[in-house]
């Protein structure tokens, strides 16, 4: 099983180069190879997930393990958390790519689009598997540089401007992350995440590592678009092709932002009350401010972009609460709930926000507008888009029986059990605000009177786009089953255990 781990990076990298080289020689080659690549990756991810259980597997690239007790090789680590992320990345990637088969026909240079899509998948897979800081940074850059190009893919004025802003702030984030990695290496003389934890356990300078952690929060906070590091996200998400918006919001900001922050703060650093408080506060602020900014928007994709900031706030806040509860040491059950709720909401957000961006893409594909005031009456003309967007809107708003209700409920219960009553109240209030602006979306797009568009000429989008939306809508219902204890134990518990029992990470990785 461990020999399969490098394939999560190798397969999409090879596919990207083959698409660039052979795509010009064989007509339609990219439309065959790219979906096949994502399908193979998803099958591999599911296979690893079903066979892994609660163990961890470490793969040393090139056979290099350690020299004089120091891990010098490139380690890829597959555990309950990373394999769950692999499933999310490659599932949403496959659906977005299948949707693209019809959507991307309005653009030129299709083969470049599919090659870049494979590269962004390779980078994200590498980030979640990487067991050392430097290669984590390399894979992160592969994914974000690809995303810069994909945001600008339409090469219009707004796309190029959004991509430039994204690149500037992304470059600043990368600089902060690289500086933090350099400082960690200077102090610990190692880049292996598990080995850094080993060194820290032996003793460390708290002020120095607090400074490093602040740098990492700023760097990865920019990648995750946590407030106040969010300025790039509304422009980038609204300007990118809709399948790419689904990838950026659904998985990229989590894989290269939230996932890395949580992995490092749980499995590399020693828990710190100050950092936990910062994470919880930033999460709560993002949750509230993102929703207030979203409710004012009339551009549909900007509304969804600000909504992403709000929903990511739920995840960050819940993880911060989990650390605070673990530091208190008197309510581990509430900590498990908070961490489990955060992971659950990460999965849910990838699905319903991916679906909402695909819905927005379908509407724009037919109407050539993102302005809600220029829409109306689409429920009969576009029944698939209307129904699936309603399901996604109810899910993200936390309305039962959809998946978003259960993940938000778990986070609220964890906050109440942990005596974070203000945070519990904010989570409920923000959910009500979320419902308000998604009802606004439903009303103006689907149930309002048409504002001049000839509805008799508007048809539902092609099969590939419709099927992708239907599939994700069904998942919005199916993922509600994760609230059942038996299902939760088999899917979420391995990821929770990796974070709760941080000693197991470096023990399994280094074989100590």
Question: How does pLDDT run across 351-401, given as a tens digit for each residue?
Answer: 999 999 999 999 988 888 888 888 878 888 889 999 999 999 999 999 988
Q: Are 506 and 194 in contact (CB under 8 A)?
A: yes
Predicted local confidence at residue 84, as pLDDT:
92
Predicted local confidence at residue 69, as pLDDT:
61
Predicted local confidence at residue 66, as pLDDT:
66
The least confident of 62-66, 120-124, 138-142, 399-403 is: 62-66
Cα angle value 267/173/97 (rounded, 5°): 85
pLDDT digits (tens, 9 = 90+) for 450-471: 655 566 678 888 899 999 999 9
Over residues 2-14, mean pLDDT: 88
For the chain, how many structural domains are there in total? 1
Distance CA 416, CA 398 (A): 17
Write the DSSP assignment of 297-341 as a string of letters: --BHHHHHHHHHHHHHHHHHHHHHHHHHHHHH-S-HHHHHHHHHH
Predicted local confidence at residue 75, as pLDDT:
84
At which residue do the structure tokens 């929770």 appear? 496
Phi-psi region of 253 (alpha: psi -120 to 50; beta: other; left: phi over 0): alpha
Task: Provide the whole-model pTM.
Answer: 0.92
Q: Which tokens is 62 given?
A: 């090139």
Q: Are 300 and 370 in contact (CB under 8 A)?
A: yes
Q: How far is CA 435 from the centre of its chain?
A: 22
Q: What is the three-state SS of 92-141?
A: HHHHHHHHHHHHHHHCCCHHHHHHHHHHHHHHHHHHHHECEHHHHHHHHH
Peptide bond into 188 cis (omega under 30): no
Predicted local confidence at residue 322, as pLDDT:
92
Is 70 exceeded by the pLDDT of residue 507?
Answer: no
Q: Which tokens is 64 given?
A: 């290099």
Could you tell me what percent of the chain has a pLDDT over 70? 93
Nearest to 399 by CA among 435, 363, 444: 435
Q: Which tokens is 219 given?
A: 């760097």
Distance CA 307, CA 305 (A): 5
The least confident of 202-206, 247-251, 255-259 is: 202-206
The values of phi and psi at residue 79, to 5°, are -140, -175
Distance CA 182, CA 419 (A): 38
Predicted local confidence at residue 450, as pLDDT:
62
Is 90 exceeded by the pLDDT of residue 232?
Answer: no
Domain span including residue 90: 2-510
Is 90 exceeded by the pLDDT of residue 286?
Answer: yes
Nearest to 159 by CA among 231, 247, 239, 238: 239
């Amino acid at each position: 099983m461990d020999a399969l781990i490098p394939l999560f990076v190798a397969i999409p990298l090879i596919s990207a180069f083959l698409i660039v080289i052979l795509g010009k020689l064989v007509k339609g080659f990219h439309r065959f190879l790219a979906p096949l690549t994502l399908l193979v990756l998803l099958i591999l991810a599911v296979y690893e997930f079903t066979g892994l259980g609660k163990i961890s597997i470490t793969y040393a690239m090139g056979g290099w393990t350690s020299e004089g007790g120091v891990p010098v090789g490139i380690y890829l680590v597959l555990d309950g958390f990373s394999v769950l992320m692999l499933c999310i990345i490659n599932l949403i990637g496959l659906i977005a790519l299948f949707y693209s088969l019809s959507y991307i026909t309005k653009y030129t240079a299709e083969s470049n689009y599919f090659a870049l899509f494979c590269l962004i998948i390779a980078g994200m897979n590498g980030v979640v598997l990487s067991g050392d800081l430097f290669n984590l940074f390399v894979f992160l850059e592969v994914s974000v540089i690809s995303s810069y190009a994909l945001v600008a893919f339409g090469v219009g004025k707004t796309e190029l401007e959004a991509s430039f802003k994204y690149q500037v702030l992304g470059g600043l984030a990368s600089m902060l992350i690289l500086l933090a990695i350099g400082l960690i290496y200077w102090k610990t003389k190692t880049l292996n995440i598990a080995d850094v934890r080993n060194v820290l356990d032996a003793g460390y300078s708290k002020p120095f590592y607090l400074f490093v952690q602040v740098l990492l929060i700023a760097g990865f906070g920019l990648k995750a678009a946590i407030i106040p590091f969010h300025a790039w996200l509304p422009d980038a998400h609204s300007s990118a092709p809709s399948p790419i918006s689904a990838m950026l919001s659904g998985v990229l900001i989590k894989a290269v932002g939230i996932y890395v922050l949580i992995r490092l703060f749980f499995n590399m650093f020693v828990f710190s009350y100050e950092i936990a408080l910062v994470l919880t506060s930033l999460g709560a602020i993002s949750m509230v401010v993102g929703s207030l900014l979203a409710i004012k928007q009339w551009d549909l994709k900007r509304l969804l972009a600000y909504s992403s900031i709000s929903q990511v706030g739920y995840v960050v806040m819940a993880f911060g609460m989990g650390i605070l509860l673990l530091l208190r040491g008197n309510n581990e059950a509430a900590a498990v709930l908070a961490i489990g709720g955060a992971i659950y909401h990460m999965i849910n957000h990838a699905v319903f926000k991916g679906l909402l961006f695909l819905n927005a893409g379908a509407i724009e594909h037919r109407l050539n507008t993102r302005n809600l005031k220029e829409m109306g009456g689409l429920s009969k003309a576009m029944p698939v888009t209307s129904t699936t967007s309603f399901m996604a809107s109810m899910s993200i708003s936390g309305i039962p029986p959809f998946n978003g209700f259960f993940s938000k409920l778990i986070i609220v219960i964890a906050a109440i059990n942990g005596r974070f009553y203000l945070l519990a109240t904010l989570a409920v209030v923000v959910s009500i605000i979320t419902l308000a602006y998604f009802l606004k979306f439903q009303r103006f797009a689907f149930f309002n009177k048409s504002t001049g568009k000839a509805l008799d000429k508007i048809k539902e989008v092609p099969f590939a786009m419709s099927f992708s939306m239907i599939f994700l809508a069904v998942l919005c219902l199916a993922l509600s089953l994760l609230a059942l204890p038996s299902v939760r134990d088999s899917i979420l518990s391995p990821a929770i255990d990796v974070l709760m029992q941080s000693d197991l990470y470096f023990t399994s990785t280094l074989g100590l």
